[in-house]
Chain A
Amino acid sequence: MLSIKNLEAGYGKVQVLHGISMEVPKGKVVTLIGSNGAGKTTTMRAVSGMIKPTSGEISLHGKRVDGLESYAIAKQGLAHSPEGRRVFATMTVTDNLILGAFPRLTGSRPKGDVPGDLERAMDLFPRLKERRNQLAGTLSGGEQQMLAMARAVMLNPEIVLLDEPSMGLAPILVEEVFRIIGDLKARGVTMLLVEQFAAAALKVADYGYVLENGRISVHGEASKLRDDPAVKAAYLGGGH
């Protein structure tokens, strides 16, 4: 469904990604792991259009999306739950979720049943249901992460990009987040998951890519990668 070929991208003078290639098949969860600074978030941003790649191809359902504005890519069915959550702090939980469905409510995507989806999202994320009229800025870090994920799901997307969902969360909340990712997987949602915490990511994913200094160093089935010493080396050095 999502295909990345030889992607190069960076910020100004700094080139972060030196030609990476990945595939995310429909219905699967693929994870991109690697230590900080390796380029994981840069990859997500390039895919969702927050930054423009310097070269390479990104295709969604066979259609090229590299170089498009992020709002155009969102309309194609790509939902991105960004690094740091980025919820709309002065708006309520409900409004945040409704905005997730913006393209559906304004004619850019098939409308479907928005109120129904809203209730279903609340069921999936019970903590949000309790706080539906609370301002998003007053939620805890973990609740904001739930909100960001639920908001992404409200698009009725083809694919969801989850960028470092565990960042800044206490271990117990990280558990809950990954449980929910598992639930989404069970419902057949296609996901690209970027994570610093390799162990948790590899547990929930079908397939994994390891990013090191802007290049894919190793990739394979998630279950096999878990025991691969190359993964540990990518994070803590000493190995190659």
Chain B
Amino acid sequence: MNRKTLIAAVLGLALLAAAPLLTSNPYYVHMIGTIMIYAILLYGLDIVVGYTGQVSLGHSGLFGVGSYTAGVLFLKLGAPLWLIIPASIVVTAGFGALLALPALRVTGPYLAMVTLAFGTIIQILINEMTFLTEGPLGIKIPKPSIAGHKLSEHEFYWLTFALMVLSLVVVHRILKSQLGRAFEALRGSPVASDCMGVSVYRYKVYAFVISAGFAGLAGCLYAYSEQYISPNTYNFELTVLFLLAVIMGGRKTRSGALLGAAIIVILPKLLDDLEMFRVVASGLAVLMFIGAVVGIAKKMTTPKAMAIPVVGTIALAGFSFWLQSITDWRLSIFGLMILFVVYYLQDGIVGFARSLFARKSNADTRIASVSGKDAVMVAAHAGAGETGTDLLVATGVLMQFGGLKAINQVDLRIKRGTIHGLIGPNGSGKSTMMNVLTGIYVPTAGSIEFAGSSVVGRTSSDIALSGIARTFQNVQLFGEMTALQNIQVGLHHTFNSNFVDVSLHTPRFNREESAATERGLGLLDFVGLGDLAFEEARNLPYGKQRLLEIARALALDTQLLLLDEPAAGLTAPDIKELVAIIRKIRDHGITVILIEHHMDVVMQLCDTVSVLDFGQKIAEGKPAEVQANEKVIEAYLGGTVA
């Protein structure tokens, strides 16, 4: 984070800390306290929603677990503060792990439903288990005491503030570390994550557990803040409010979480005051109308696109004058806000503001990168062996889908230090072979030995970590991350730092992080993308994206690199660059399997070529031999049919 942002952040926080001194009204102090408590939860929720990109409808349940852990420990055991806070965090984190179990194998709407079911079950359990939770009667909790001294409102405020800042720092550090990159990778491309050694299951669990921990802390503080908790607080509406806060404030930002928290706390109060609402709604309608007119005049948008927002806001203003009271319509207002944000403000308010003031982000300090040679050499060192020996031996591989034999008794012997081409007409089984070698499919029969140990039945993530890396036919980059960050995900395996190291920025973490940055830049230089290190991957031209994918694969200390149609869709100059880079890779001692349709590329690069047709190997040998082989010509041109 640069100078200006840091100063602004410190000033903002100082103001927040000073709030109890600036206002004498305890109502406002309590309100700001609640905003901070919600912010703690939202920092955690952002990990799941903003980073891994999943919808969680269960966080009000986790919030409830935190509150009730505090409440029950106080009520039944009279436990002190220093025990209750960690207990709330740990218990809720445990529930987060429990939630992650059914959530592991599902995604999208299924995941949302799982979390919703979970949250609903928790609310029911809190309500029904009266022997523990007092059920609908609720639990009264006084302000906590530290060392015998009972905290005043102001003192509790500062405790909340301190914990909020602590959470802010911890979350920020997590998200900027290899953990944060792993979370984002999950959203970008789950398949690529697994193939880069970042196990989707594992990191999904981490994301839920960590966000649950924060929800637990928030819940605990909430219990003390309100001094009374009851089951019906932790309902579906609250969970929707949390989601609204994250998406309206702006995902992937801390300030967005704070802003979102402020919105959902202040808004209901605002909506209680009808006069105020009428003013705001009218003002909004006028602003929207002016904005639309200006936008259309400047040709930034069309009347059709503006029609709905303009009519909508005018209707809302009109409606507000017709109403007697707005309180009952709160939920509809929230619903409308969600619709608005989902379609018009996808990056939230903070995201929108940032895009308005967008500056080209550049490297503040040009860190010296490891030389290209060293970056890749580090990789090749891992697999010391003589050129020409067998690296991968596949025998009798059979891959059957129902009645279809996609790969039918194929033998393949890949020699170390060579570029081995795999060609064949469409549907011949090349990509299937690739998927079998990287663990995406488990072969129906046959053996595959890589550097002496079997590959069959191991997970993609495991196989990736043992030295087999790949690129994809349809580029699977982590679009929203920079080129450097994409490579750093590939370097995930070099990190031994855990959650504690990351939070505290221990020497071990700092060392690993800068090593990863150096090596990442080195790899980028190796493929010629050095000066695009800080560009978002999705903004790179197509040819460069392909090269980036290769660089990322190399980060895995690769011994065997599988390239799946790397030249597809490339222009002639790009292809030339690609060929040179593949040669460089081979010269560094890395073995390559190349699936390609561009025959020129295959002929130039490959030492050996195997030809597949209808799932079987029909020819193998040097490129020129294969090119002249009758059976191969027939397979491609369909000679027998003529």
Contacts and interface: CB of A to CB of B under 8 A. Distances in A.
Complex A–B touching at CB under 8 A:
yes
A110 interface: no
Chain B interface size, as a band, is 20 to 34
B427 A199 contact: no
B422 to A, nearest CB: 13
Interface string B79-98: 00000000000000000000
Interface string B156-189: 0000000000000000000000000000000000
A197 B637 contact: yes
A37 B427 contact: no
B642 A13 contact: no
B330 interface: no
A236 B642 CA distance: 18
B603 interface: yes
A199 B627 contact: no
Contacts of A231: 637
A203 interface: yes
Given A197-B641, A199-B642, A232 B541 contact: no
B632 to A, nearest CB: 8
B641 A178 contact: yes
A55 interface: no
B627 A238 contact: yes
B147 to A, nearest CB: 63
B599 interface: yes
B641 A200 contact: yes
Interface string A159-195: 0000010111011001100100000000000000001
Contact of A16 (B425, B427, B569, B632): B569
B603 A238 contact: yes
A37 B598 contact: yes
B100 interface: no
A196 interface: yes
Given A14-B542, A37-B568, A196-B426, A236 B598 contact: no
Among A16, A198, A199, chain B packs the most CB atoms within 10 A around the CB of: A199
A36 B640 contact: no
Contacts of B603: 237-238
B495 to A, nearest CB: 32
B588 to A, nearest CB: 27
A168 B565 contact: no
A20 to B, nearest CB: 16
B428 to A, nearest CB: 9
B636 interface: yes
Given A13-B541, A167-B427, A168-B427, A235 B599 contact: yes
A236 B568 contact: no
Contacts of B425: 36, 196
A195 B599 CA distance: 18
B586 interface: no
B599 A199 contact: no
A110 B633 CA distance: 46
A236 B638 contact: no
Most buried by B among A196, A203, A231: A196
A35 interface: yes
Interface in A89-130: none
Interface in B621-642: 627, 632-633, 636-642
Given A198-B637, A232-B633, A235-B599, A167 B426 contact: yes
A35 to B, nearest CB: 6
Contact of A235 (B568, B569, B636): B636
Query: Which interface residue of B598, B627, B641 has the most chain A CB atoms within 10 A?
Result: B641
Contacts of B568: 14, 37
A200 B569 contact: no
A238 B638 contact: no
A170 B545 CA distance: 37
Nearest to A141: B404
Contacts of A195: 638
Interface in B577-630: 597-600, 602-603, 614, 627
B594 to A, nearest CB: 14
A236 B599 contact: yes
Contact of B638 (A14, A36, A199, A232): A199
Contacts of B627: 236-238
Contacts of A174: 638, 641
A92 B421 CA distance: 43
Nearest to B406: A168
Contact of A237 (B569, B600, B638): B600
A236 B633 contact: yes
Contacts of A37: 565, 568-569, 597-598
A10 B603 CA distance: 27
Interface in A200-218: 200-203
Contacts of A13: 541-542, 545
Contact of A199 (B542, B598, B602, B637): B637
B44 to A, nearest CB: 34
A161 B541 CA distance: 33
Contact of B602 (A15, A175, A237): A237
B286 to A, nearest CB: 38
Nearest to A231: B637
Which among B565, B600, B633, B638 has the greatest number of chain A C-beta atoms within 10 A? Answer: B638
Contacts of B640: 171
Given A167-B426, A237-B602, A237-B603, A232 B641 contact: no
Contacts of A197: 636-638, 641
A4 to B, nearest CB: 21
A199 B597 contact: no
Of the listed residues B569, B597, B598, B599, the one surrounded by the most CB atoms of chain A closer than 10 A to its CB is: B569
Interface string A1-22: 0000000001001111000000
29 contacts: A10-B569, A13-B542, A15-B569, A35-B599, A36-B426, A36-B597, A37-B565, A166-B638, A170-B614, A174-B638, A174-B641, A195-B638, A196-B426, A197-B638, A199-B638, A199-B641, A199-B642, A200-B642, A202-B642, A203-B642, A235-B599, A235-B636, A236-B627, A237-B598, A237-B599, A237-B602, A237-B603, A238-B603, A238-B627
Interface of B: 425-427, 541-542, 545, 565, 568-569, 597-600, 602-603, 614, 627, 632-633, 636-642
Closest 10 CB pairs of A and B: A237-B599, A197-B638, A199-B642, A14-B569, A200-B641, A37-B597, A13-B542, A168-B427, A199-B638, A36-B597
